[in-house]
Amino acid sequence: MPIYNAPLLAIDPKETRRYAGLMKADTFDENLILEACQDGRLLAEPKGVWELYDYDCDTQTVKADPPFTIIGEKIGKHLACCDKVILLSATVGDAIEEEVTARFDRGEYAASVLLDASATTAVEQIADGMEKAIKPKMAAQGYSMRWRFSPGYGDWPLDQQPELVRTANATAIGVHLSESKMLVPRKSITAIIGLYKEGTGTSPLKKGCASCTQKDCASRKK
Residues at the site binding other proteins, with contacts judged by CB under 8 A: 2-9, 20-22, 24-25, 28, 32, 38, 41-42, 46, 100-101, 104, 107-110, 112-114, 116, 132-133, 135-136, 139-143, 152, 157-159, 161, 178-182, 184, 186, 197-199, 214, 216, 218
Q: How far is the CB of 107 from other proteins (least distance, A)?
A: 6
Task: Output DSSP code: residue 191.
Answer: E
Q: Closer to other proteins at the Cβ: 39 or 78?
A: 39
How far, in Å, CA of 190 to CA of 165, rounded? Answer: 7
How far, in Å, CA of 92 to CA of 90, rounded? Answer: 7
Q: How far is the CB of 205 from other proteins (least distance, A)?
A: 19
* H/E stretch holding 71: none
Q: Closer to other proteins at the Cβ: 20 or 64?
A: 20
Would you mind telling me the total number of residues written for the chain in this entry? 222
CA 62 to chain centroid, in Å, comes to 19
Q: Closer to other proteins at the Cβ: 106 or 207?
A: 106
Q: How far is the CB of 20 from other proteins (least distance, A)?
A: 5
Q: Closer to other proteins at the Cβ: 25 or 210?
A: 25
Using omega within 30 degrees of 0 as the cis cutoff, is the peptide bond preceding 185 cis?
yes
Q: How far is the CB of 141 from other proteins (least distance, A)?
A: 6
User: Torsion-angle region of residue 47: left (phi > 0), alpha (psi -120 to 50) or beta?
Assistant: beta
